């Protein structure tokens, strides 16, 4: 079902595919971005410091709204924000059979443009699963408690299969009063005919968070790592629902047609103290779409084509305590999108040629509050995104690839509205027209190699991402602490990524990655000071990220796993200031798993060395504000199959 949007064998793409066994090995209830840090070039952190509570993924130093996220090929990124909030759907990773991370522009997919890369989640395999269930219970530091129960039918009468899961997750969070009380559910059912498959998949979640999206100044964190500048009355509550129906038809021996209908919806509020009042921002959206892909495989030829249409609207309104029923403003953003792509892969001898062309159109229309005093503006964008490449099989052990691709991406609503949630006569002059932030454009060049010999698998790639009009932070912050962004002209991200997977013995395996990145902005003007900066390093992009993981199977029952991660320092701003820096760190985790029959017990110690380290942050008025990782903490996970 996902082969039209994933990179298949022979595609000239820098990618890593992680199967369910590897995902589950490190899983103890944390949000999905925190599970992907073994992929070269990926960094992630949670605002709360551990497990859950608005976690963020960065790929090659670029933030999550420039990463295309899909589930069974269906887009997940919110069309306005171009982001997906995993905290709304706790236990999401338990619904995943595998995940493929493509770095760079990759191959065409539906939804948000893959500027930094793409992450495609594949839902649980139903037909291949054994009949039975599993109970999971976890607990640990920061009063963390988690329970989940799952049942899968396996294939019934050769035609039917289903899976269902329910979970509950509670934690106080590492940072003081940053906890989450969340629950979620998952349902998938499928019918398998002779030439047809119909599959329904749905998940839903409810998250009640105590807010921690403001970072803490570094001096305070060093004396009190759990400090949280947000008050007990600053909270949020959001619910999210996703469902889709897919029909897969074997058109012929060589061709498959997949059609899907989907709906997503989310709604809730978050409270922010704007002295002396407590403001409640309300958001609610509905999103409908349909897509279809055609895949043809015959001999040396592979062809994939797809089309997607969607319609989205999100309501924004503000109330101020205690008169929440009186709306200060009430506006709506509407976004429609249509896209199509075609990919061709042809093998001739040792060479496999690859071509990919995507056309995409998006429109945004704003419906202001009745008393706003402005007319509703609108804007539309059209994009043509080409990609081409070559894979050369030098031998059975060694293959080489090279590719080039260009992608353009529109700004988010926050970019266009300069962080404002409402447009009216008082701020229209500073926001309009909506095209003051222009689409950004990248041309991505990738060259790499894959080598396999016996128990060793290794890969490495060089990349050069050349940007025009990159949308980047320039000094000012929004009400929720997010850096505001504008176009900065020419910039680049260049580097090396490598992986090594080595089965040293039947019992011991090694997994290591290394990412070296040089990210620079050629010239830009800081919005808060008016100073012009040249050839400065890009914000929150470490020059070096390295990971190491060793797995040792001790007898039949015990599995010992150790993980280490080293990250160099990275700038907190784009101004090149020596003091505005996120310090380098080295962190290590360890886990011991005991398995006996249908029972599995895992003890995991995170941040084994008890290091004070920071995963993200920003600088403002000469002060560094940081999001700390949790200090040493323990998790106990028990699983029982039935």
Assign residue 622 the CATH number of its domain: 2.40.170.20
Instruction: Identify the weakest region by mean pLDDT among 147-151, 574-578, 634-638.
Output: 574-578
Q: Is residue 135 pLDDT above 80, yes or no?
A: yes
* Percent residues over pLDDT 70 in the chain: 98
In a domain, 4, yes or no: no
Residue 535's pLDDT band (boundaries 50, 70, 90)?
A: very high
Residue 430's pLDDT band (boundaries 50, 70, 90)?
A: confident
Closest CA to 442 of 412, 471, 475, 473: 471
95: which DSSP letter? Answer: G
Structure-token match 């999206």, residue found: 213
In a domain, 256, yes or no: yes
In a domain, 9, yes or no: no
In contact, 574 and 533? CB cutoff 8 Å: yes
Report the pLDDT value the prediction gives residue 25, as an integer from 0 to 100.
Answer: 84
* Number of separate domains in the chain: 1
Q: Is residue 56 pLDDT above 80, yes or no?
A: yes
3-state secondary structure of 494: strand
Cα(499)–Cα(588) distance, integer angstroms? 19
Q: Which two tokens stand for residue 263?
A: 């709906």
Q: Which two tokens stand for residue 321?
A: 């305590």
The stretch 567-590 carries a mean pLDDT of 93
The stretch 305-309 carries a mean pLDDT of 97
Q: Which domain holds residue 399?
A: 14-641
Q: Is residue 527 pLDDT above 80, yes or no?
A: no
Cα(636)–Cα(639) distance, integer angstroms? 10
Residue 530's pLDDT band (boundaries 50, 70, 90)?
A: confident
In a domain, 615, yes or no: yes
Report the pLDDT value the prediction gives residue 481, as an integer from 0 to 100.
Answer: 56
The stretch 431-455 carries a mean pLDDT of 95
Report the pLDDT value the prediction gives residue 476, as an integer from 0 to 100.
Answer: 65
3-state secondary structure of 64: helix
Report the pLDDT value the prediction gives residue 140, as an integer from 0 to 100.
Answer: 94
Beta bridge partners of 134: 150, 641
In a domain, 8, yes or no: no
Give 135-174 as a DSSP string: EEEEEETTTEEEEEEEEE---BTTTEEEEEEEEEEEE--S
The stretch 163-175 carries a mean pLDDT of 95
Tens digits of residue pLDDT in 95-124: 899 999 999 999 999 999 999 999 999 999
In a domain, 575, yes or no: yes
Q: Is residue 597 pLDDT above 90, yes or no?
A: yes
Report the pLDDT value the prediction gives residue 51, as an integer from 0 to 100.
Answer: 78
In a domain, 528, yes or no: yes
Instruction: Identify the weakest region by mean pLDDT among 45-54, 245-254, 554-563.
Output: 45-54
In a domain, 5, yes or no: no
Q: Is residue 128 pLDDT above 90, yes or no?
A: no
Q: What's the CA angle centered on 125, arms 123 and 131, to 5 degrees?
A: 130
pTM equals: 0.94
Cα(93)–Cα(117) distance, integer angstroms? 19
Tens digits of residue pLDDT in 465-522: 999 999 988 766 665 556 678 898 899 999 999 999 999 999 999 999 999 999 999 9
The stretch 424-433 carries a mean pLDDT of 92
Cα(176)–Cα(226) distance, integer angstroms? 5
* Whole-number average pLDDT of the chain: 93
């Amino acid at each position: 079902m996902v082969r039209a949007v994933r990179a298949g064998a022979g595609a000239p793409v820098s990618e890593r595919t992680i199967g369910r066994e590897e995902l589950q090995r490190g899983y103890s209830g944390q949000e999905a971005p925190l599970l992907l840090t073994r992929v070269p070039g990926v960094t992630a952190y949670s605002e709360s410091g551990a497990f859950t509570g608005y976690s963020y993924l960065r790929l090659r130093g670029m933030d999550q709204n420039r990463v295309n996220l899909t589930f069974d090929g269906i887009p997940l990124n919110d069309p306005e924000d171009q982001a997906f909030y995993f905290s709304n759907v706790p236990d999401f990773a338990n619904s995943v059979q595998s995940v493929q991370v493509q770095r760079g522009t990759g191959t065409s997919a539906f939804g948000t443009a893959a500027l930094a890369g793409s992450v495609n989640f594949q839902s649980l395999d139903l037909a291949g699963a054994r009949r039975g269930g599993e109970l999971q219970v976890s607990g640990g530091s920061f009063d963390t408690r988690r329970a989940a129960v799952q049942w899968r039918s396996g294939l019934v009468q050769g035609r039917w299969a289903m899976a269902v899961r329910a979970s509950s997750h509670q934690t106080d969070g590492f940072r003081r009063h940053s906890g989450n009380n969340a629950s979620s559910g998952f349902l998938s059912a499928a019918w398998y005919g002779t030439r047809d498959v119909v599959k329904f998949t749905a998940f839903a979640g409810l998250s009640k968070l105590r807010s921690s999206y403001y970072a803490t100044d570094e001096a305070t964190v060093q004396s009190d790592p759990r400090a949280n500048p947000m008050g007990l009355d600053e909270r949020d509550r959001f619910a999210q629902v996703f469902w889709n129906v897919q029909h897969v038809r074997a058109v012929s021996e060589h061709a498959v047609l997949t059609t899907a209908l989907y709906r997503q919806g989310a709604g809730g509020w978050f409270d922010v103290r704007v002295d002396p009042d407590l403001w409640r921002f309300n958001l609610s959206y509905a999103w409908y779409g349909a897509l279809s892909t055609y895949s043809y495989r015959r001999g040396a030829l592979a062809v994939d084509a797809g089309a997607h249409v969607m319609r989205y609207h999100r309501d924004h309104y503000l109330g101020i305590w205690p008169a929440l029923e009186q709306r200060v403003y009430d506006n709506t953003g509407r976004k429609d999108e249509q896209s199509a792509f075609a990919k061709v892969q042809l093998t001739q001898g040792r060479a496999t040629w690859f071509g990919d062309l995507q056309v995409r159109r998006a429109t945004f229309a704003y419906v202001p509050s009745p008393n706003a005093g402005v007319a509703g503006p609108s804007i539309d964008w059209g994009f043509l995104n080409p990609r081409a490449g070559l894979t050369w099989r030098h031998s059975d052990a060694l293959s080489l690839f090279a590719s080039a691709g260009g992608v353009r991406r529109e700004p988010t609503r926050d970019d266009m509205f300069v962080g404002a949630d409402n447009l009216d006569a008082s701020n229209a002059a500073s926001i309009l027209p909506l095209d003051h932030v222009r689409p950004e454009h990248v041309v991505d060049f990738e060259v790499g190699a894959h080598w396999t010999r016996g128990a060793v698998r290794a890969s490495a790639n060089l990349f050069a991402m050349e940007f025009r009009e990159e949308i980047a932070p320039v000094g000012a912050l929004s009400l929720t602490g997010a850096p505001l962004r504008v176009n900065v002209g020419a910039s680049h991200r260049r580097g090396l990524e490598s992986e090594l997977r080595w089965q040293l013995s039947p019992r011991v395996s090694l997994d290591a990655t290394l990412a070296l990145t040089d990210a620079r902005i050629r010239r830009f003007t800081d919005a808060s000071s008016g100073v012009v900066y040249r050839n400065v390093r890009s914000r929150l992009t470490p020059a070096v990220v390295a990971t190491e993981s060793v797995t040792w199977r001790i007898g039949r029952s015990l599995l010992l796993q150790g993980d280490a991660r080293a990250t160099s320092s990275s700038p907190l701003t784009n101004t090149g200031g020596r003091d505005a820096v996120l310090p380098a760190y080295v962190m290590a985790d360890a886990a011991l798993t005991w398995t006996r029959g249908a029972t599995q017990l895992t003890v995991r110690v995170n941040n084994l060395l008890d290091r004070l380290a920071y995963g993200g942050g920003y600088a403002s008025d000469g002060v560094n504000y940081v999001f700390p990782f949790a200090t040493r903490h323990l998790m106990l996970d028990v699983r029982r199959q039935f």
